């Protein structure tokens, strides 16, 4: 199939025509092709397909919350062409069998590249390294390893994991949370938790682990990825580590770029998330961290839950928020419209760099002739009101419900196949191999 995208602003710059043939970008410039399906894109921004370093697809085990199919549909609608599926499924993705299963489900679904993340430790138990080599060498070609949801707390085990993955060109993605300092934690520890009488999740519980881990990464010469950075102090530590030449990358979620712990005053568990929503000062420090390159990537931490897990009191509720279908709008709202980032920067933090961190070869590529046509068309002038009931994800737990947001994904091309057209899901790509 041939597609001709007409007059799209590539990375927000010059308006150009883009011809896609057989999954690749065939030509750029002033183009005409009578056989191609034409997509009028005047006023739209063309980005490389988004790559999420941090998604929970819930399958296998919690298909009531999400499946690889519904989660990857949500991803396509959000402009994504690749997602990293976190390992905390049931059974845990701690062996080649489970990661190949998830990879296969993703391939058959055909909406995005589903790249499984392997667990660092067996059963996320924090005791014994999982078969990292077997997962790396499997058909799923796992490169990112994480016990996300649980911190690799044992300093010796973390050291060994950082060392060991070097043999497989892997990276450890750490969920930085000191467990003793966060026992029973419900929300950010600060002025709001003092008033609400909720057990606090102090910033130091995140920062102390990040400080330890960057020093470990330096000591053993490994690379470290820090998941969902949420505090101003964490940004400072990572900024220091990068200045020192330590090989660390960091991720921030869209919700931590916008929402604060003031939301918890509603006691609505849709705002319950781990790490928790922090203070306004933290939100501003995170944005500044993205702007100066301290924070490398946006990770959605998309965490769908069935309605009963949120339709309850705060203490009984599950932690997590959906995010795939709102991420780009939140990025535009918090980083582009505030003047902190250009669209070229957006391409870097949502596609180029996350693909590099995950070692994805044909994702996050430049928009150039001969490159795979993983592309996203965004209408930056659109405005829409978030309605979780219309989303592709099974999860209805969007913290942005009812908010008016800028920017809408008009089309997503996944290896040259339109998975989203006119802002709606189109058809999956049929895998040929």
- Binding stretches for other proteins (CB under 8 A): 186, 189-198, 200, 202, 266-268, 308, 311-316
Q: In angstroms, what is the minimal distance from the CB of 356 to other proteins?
A: 38
429 and 60 Cβ atoms separated by less than 8 Å: no
Element (H, E) at 24: strand 24-29
Q: Which is nearer to other proteins, 203 or 211 (CB)?
A: 203
For other proteins, give the closer residue by CB, 195 or 344: 195
Instruction: Please state the closest distance from residue 180 (CB atom) to other proteins, in A.
Output: 10
Q: How far is the CB of 230 from other proteins (least distance, A)?
A: 16
Could you give the residue ranges of the DSSP H alpha helices within 110-190?
132-137, 155-164
10 close to 41: Cβ distance less than 8 angstroms: no
Specify the 3-state DSSP secondary structure of 29. Answer: strand
Task: Pick between residue 312 and residue 424 the one whose CB is nearest to other proteins.
Answer: 312
Q: Decide if 382 contacts 339 (C-beta within 8 A).
A: no
Measured from the CB atom, the residue of 158 and 318 that comes closer to other proteins is 318
3-state secondary structure 200-244: EECHHHHHHHHHHHHHHHHHHCCCEEECCCCCHHHHHHHHHHHHC
**Cis, peptide link before residue 129, omega less than 30° from 0:** no
Beta strands 2-10 and 248-252 are unpaired
Closest distance of CB 193 from other proteins, Å: 6
Q: How far apart are CA 233 and CA 230, in angstroms?
A: 9
Nearer to other proteins, 180 or 432 (CB): 180
Helix, strand, coil shares, percent, the chain, to 5: 35, 25, 45
CB-wise, 206 or 325, nearer to other proteins? 206
Shortest Cβ 41–other proteins spacing (Å): 43
Tell the smallest beta-carbon distance from residue 272 to other proteins (Å). Answer: 11
Nearer Cβ to other proteins (314/384)? 314
Distance CA 11, CA 88 (A): 35
Question: Quick one: tokens of 303?
Answer: 């965490």
For the CB of residue 275, give the shortest distance to other proteins in the complex, in Å.
Answer: 16
Residue 141 burial by Cβ neighbours in a 10 Å radius (0-12, 13-18, 19+) = middle
Q: Strands 113-116 and 80-85: what pairing?
A: parallel
Which residues are the active-site residues?
301
Burial of 383 (0-12, 13-18, 19+ CB in 10 A): exposed
């Amino acid at each position: 199939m041939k597609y001709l995208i007409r007059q799209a602003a590539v990375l927000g710059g010059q308006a150009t025509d883009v011809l896609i043939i057989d999954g690749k970008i065939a030509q750029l410039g002033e183009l005409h092709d009578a056989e191609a399906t034409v997509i009028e894109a005047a006023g739209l921004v063309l980005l490389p397909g988004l790559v999420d370093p941090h998604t929970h697809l819930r399958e296998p085990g919690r298909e009531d919350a999400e499946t690889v199919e519904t989660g990857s549909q949500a991803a396509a609608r959000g402009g994504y062409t690749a997602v990293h599926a976190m390992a905390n499924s049931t059974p845990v993705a701690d062996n080649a069998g489970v990661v190949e299963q998830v990879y296969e489900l993703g391939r058959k679904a055909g909406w995005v590249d589903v790249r499984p993340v392997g667990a660092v430790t067996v059963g996320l138990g924090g005791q014994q390294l999982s078969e990292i080599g077997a997962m790396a060498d499997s058909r799923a070609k796992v490169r990112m390893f994480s016990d996300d949801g649980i911190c690799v707390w044992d300093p010796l085990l973390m050291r060994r994991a950082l060392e060991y993955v070097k043999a497989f060109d892997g990276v450890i993605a750490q969920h930085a949370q000191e467990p003793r300092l966060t026992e029973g934690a419900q929300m950010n520890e600060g002025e709001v938790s003092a008033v609400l009488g909720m057990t606090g999740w102090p910033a130091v519980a995140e920062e102390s682990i990040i400080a330890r881990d960057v020093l470990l990464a330096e000591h053993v010469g490994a690379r470290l990825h820090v998941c969902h950075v949420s505090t101003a102090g964490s940004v400072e530590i990572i900024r220091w580590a990068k200045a020192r030449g330590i090989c660390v990358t960091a991720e921030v979620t869209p919700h931590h770029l916008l929402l604060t712990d003031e939301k918890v005053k509603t006691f609505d568990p849709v705002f319950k998330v781990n790490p928790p929503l922090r203070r306004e000062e933290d939100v501003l420090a995170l944005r500044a961290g993205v702007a100066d390159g301290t924070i490398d990537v946006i990770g959605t931490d998309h965490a769908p839950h069935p309605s009963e897990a949120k339709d309850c009191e705060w203490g009984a509720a599950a932690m997590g928020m959906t995010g795939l279908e709102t991420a780009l709008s939140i990025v535009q709202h918090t980083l582009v419209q505030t003047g902190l980032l250009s669209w070229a920067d957006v391409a870097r933090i949502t596609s180029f760099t996350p693909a590099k961190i995950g070692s994805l070869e044909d994702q996050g590529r430049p928009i150039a002739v001969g490159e795979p046509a993983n592309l996203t068309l965004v209408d930056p002038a659109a405005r829409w009101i978030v309605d979780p009931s219309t989303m592709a994800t099974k999860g209805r737990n969007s913290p942005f419900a009812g908010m008016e947001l800028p920017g809408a994904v008009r089309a997503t091309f996944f290896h040259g196949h339109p998975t989203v057209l006119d802002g709606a899901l189109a058809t999956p790509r049929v895998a040929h191999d």
